[in-house]
Amino acid sequence: MKKVWNYLRSMRFGILLLVLIGLCAVVGSLIPQGRELSWYVENYPSFHPTLFFLQLYDVFKSWYFLALTGLLCLNLTLCSLVRIRSVVRGGRELRPRAALLPDEVKLTSVGVKKLEEHLLATGCRKNEQGSARVYSKRLVGRYGSFLTHLAILLTVIFGAAGLSLPQVTDRDCLPGESVRLPDGAEFAVRSFRSTDESGKLDYASELTIVLPDGRSRSGEISVNHPMSLGPYKVYQQTYGTAGSVTVTNLENGGSDDFLLPEPAFLTLDNYNGLWVLAVYPDYYLTPDGVITPTGSADGDYPNPVYLLQRSEDGVQTQEAAFPGTVLEVGGLSYRFNAPERYPGLRIKYTPAIINTLLFASFALMIAGLYITFFLQPVLVKVDDEGYAVGGPKPEGMRLELKELLGGYERGE
Amino acid sequence: MRILFFAAVALYAAAVILQFAGTAFKKNKLLKASWLVFLAALAIHTVFLIVRGIVARRLPLSNQFEFANAFAWGVALMLAVLRTRLKSDWLSVVAMPMALLVLVYAALQPMEIHDLMPALRSAWFGVHIGSAVLAYAAFVIAGSIALRYVLAVKKGADEDDLKLKQMDYLSYRLVAFGFLFLTVVILSGAIWAEQAWSAFWTWDPKEVWALITWIIYAVYLHQRLRSKKRGLGMAWFLIIAVPVVFFTFAGVNTLLPGLHSYG
């Protein structure tokens, strides 16, 4: 049992897990993930049974990938627990322990003097330990590895929470309308634009959020600049284009503007009226004069055309309209305007604490790595005969002193 | 502006040729000339990046051409700093061609300046991509040192020789530097992705390969620091890791479409 325990917390097991996670990641990047199963049957005709069996179409949610990640967390937890003891205890004992190290290099008395001068000149603190002098600096560096591993553990845990806990709702919302969620939170779009003041592409919506408890916030969201209130965060996710029609009642003169993202039947009596089927960005005329709508590669609407179906006295006829066209059907006048854009919002609900904890883990990881690699502890025991280098990462100091004192070494 | 870029490429190429000739014929004058030409190339390359940044009114890091330029510049700058600090020329023969290789890749990319797309207009742009430049450059230089180490051992140098130990240690320090910055790349990318795409992590191929690169160098660091592995084996490890860095940098964008495909 102890052997199993020791293996679970060992670096060897940690590296094995990292390598296996890396291999899964390679497979997950080479095989497109999360598509319809029929896509894999079509594109991997002979391999798809194995692909389905091993869940290679969704590697990062497969049981074995989650198991590997769980085991990595276990490994990091156990190794952090072991380290915390040695980090706390070891701190007090570093210098006395270093004083007991046998000399690894014997020096002449001139060499010893030069060494001690060098250590003091490079900022080391001198500490007398019996007949030996222990020089040390940057001992904070011994915490680096522990902090880094702890931060990786926390990042995996809070990262998993950050990926799995949020409830995401994607909604299109026309300017002037609002999205209401089941809990009562309301997101009203006042306006939308697709360029900034200088004419550069920039999608932005003027928005007001009202939470069920009455708190509210107004402002602009754009790509990279979501807006938060309480547990909600609203993103400028996509945009769409809606037909715009001004409908006037010919009898009383009353009129209304309609934005139509979907097909709609505009009528007074549900019998005579106009079906606005779609609005297309562009069109071309066939030699016999037929209008054929087309799409556009860049999302612009250079020559918009409306596709309509007139319904009049039971007779259905297809026709087209352009911005500026005015039609009259069933007592209504329809004036077609240039299409308008509207935003697609992504509304994310996450407990705010998750992001805070995740960001704290990120900061801890960077700090841990910096301390590990750039604040490496220096611990050198010097006596009248020579010196020994101690501490968790003695290599750099050994090489530095070897180069410095090459001419002062004494043979046995 | 293009003339600055092609002048830099030509000078780097000349420096590499002089370096090879100097090494092959053991002519110090050629090696010195190579170094001077290399410094001239680096200076012109720096001017090119500054001018491009001024013209584009942003950091020149937004597409494969610009990133490859910055990457090659990072490799060249690190080589210049190391050579000056070490007061030794042993690294140039392997590191100079690396800078040239990346720059040749840049020359094959479209060079036009475009406005940043909305998703790239973020305060994280410079941190995320600038850190990637530093990380990748450090890994490539570490791989170059490792290659030089392997060549020296193959020629019969003693692995216990202080010089080889210093080379081995220097490559480790560069990996540590690169690893810190690769971590910054991944974490700043996660924060940025949450702002732009609403999720910290989407398993996009570029993210996945950054993670794979991170895992590879994490394994290296563990082997070196905890298992005390040194020398030839670890040098080979670093050499083999360099193609992974290049794949993460260029291969993913070319072969594996995803959210980073515009890069």
The string of pLDDT tens digits covering residues B140-197 is: 999 999 999 999 999 988 888 888 999 999 999 999 999 999 999 999 999 999 999 8
Q: Are residues B44 and B83 in the same domain?
A: yes
The string of pLDDT tens digits covering residues B49-103 is: 999 999 998 899 888 899 999 999 999 999 999 999 888 788 888 899 999 999 9
Instruction: Report helix, strand or coil for A103.
Output: coil
pLDDT above 90 for B132: yes
Of A14, A222, A362, the CB nearest to B187: A362
Rounded mean pLDDT of B117-126? 88
Q: Are A188 and A178 in contact (CB under 8 A)?
A: yes
Instruction: Say yes or no: B252 contacts chain A, CB-CB below 8 A.
Output: yes
First to last CA, chain B: 21
The string of pLDDT tens digits covering residues A312-364 is: 888 999 999 999 999 999 899 999 999 988 999 999 998 888 889 999 999 99
Percent of the residues in chain A that have a pLDDT greater than 70, as a whole number: 99
Q: Are residues B145 and B241 in the same domain?
A: yes
Strand partners of residue B79? none
The confidence score (pLDDT) of residue A290 equals: 86
pLDDT above 80 for A185: yes
Task: Select from B60, B90, B111 the last residue of a domain.
Answer: B111
Chain A residues inside the 8 Å CB shell of B126: none
**What CA–CA distance (Å, rounded) separates A328 from A76?**
73
Sign of CA dihedral A301, A303, A308, A312: positive
pLDDT above 80 for A396: yes
**What CA–CA distance (Å, rounded) separates A192 from A221?**
10
Q: Are residues B82 and B137 in the same domain?
A: no
Q: Are A279 and A243 in contact (CB under 8 A)?
A: yes
Q: Are residues B134 and B256 in the same domain?
A: yes
Q: Are residues B50 and B138 in the same domain?
A: no
The confidence score (pLDDT) of residue A360 equals: 96
Helices and strands in chain A, H and E counts: 9, 21
Task: Select from B63, B85, B111 the last residue of a domain.
Answer: B111
pLDDT category at A235 given cuts 50, 70, 90 is very high
Rounded mean pLDDT of A16-25? 95
pTM given for the model: 0.88
The confidence score (pLDDT) of residue B99 equals: 93
Q: Are residues B87 and B178 in the same domain?
A: no
Contacts of residue A289, defined as CB under 8 A and 6 or more positions apart, other chains included, come to none
The string of pLDDT tens digits covering residues A252-295 is: 888 898 989 889 999 988 899 999 999 999 999 888 888 888 88
Q: Are A57 and A30 in contact (CB under 8 A)?
A: no
pLDDT above 70 for B22: yes
The confidence score (pLDDT) of residue B261 equals: 63
Task: Select from B87, B111, B135 the last residue of a domain.
Answer: B111
Query: In total, how many domains does chain B have?
Result: 2
Q: Which of B58, B203, B262 to mutate to test the interface with A (most CBs of A within 10 A)?
A: B203
Q: Are residues B202 and B90 in the same domain?
A: no
CB contact under 8 A, B200 and A369: no
Residue ranges of B 180-199 with Cβ closer than 8 A to chain A: 180, 183-184, 187, 190-192, 194-199
Instruction: Report helix, strand or coil for B262.
Output: coil
How many cross-chain Cβ pairs, A to B, lie less than 8 Å apart? 112
pLDDT above 90 for B17: yes
Q: Where are the alpha helices (DSSP H) in chain B?
A: 2-25, 28-56, 64-86, 92-107, 124-154, 162-196, 205-225, 232-246, 252-255
For residue B129, what are the domain limits? 120-263
Percent of the residues in chain A that have a pLDDT greater than 90, as a whole number: 60
Q: Are residues B40 and B92 in the same domain?
A: yes
- CATH of span A85-138+376-406: 3.30.310.10
The string of pLDDT tens digits covering residues A143-182 is: 898 999 999 999 999 999 988 888 999 999 988 889 999 9
The residues spanned by each domain of chain A are 2-64, 85-138+376-406, 167-240+345-356, 243-341
Q: Which residue of A has its CA nearest to B117?
A: A201
The confidence score (pLDDT) of residue A189 equals: 94
Instruction: Say yes or no: B25 contacts chain A, CB-CB below 8 A.
Output: no
The confidence score (pLDDT) of residue A48 equals: 87
Q: Are residues B174 and B196 in the same domain?
A: yes
Q: Phi first, then psi: what are they for B58, rounded to 5°? A: -165, 175
DSSP strands (E only) in A30-185: 105-106, 125-129, 132-137, 167-172, 178-180
pLDDT above 80 for B257: no
Chain A residues inside the 8 Å CB shell of B197: 235
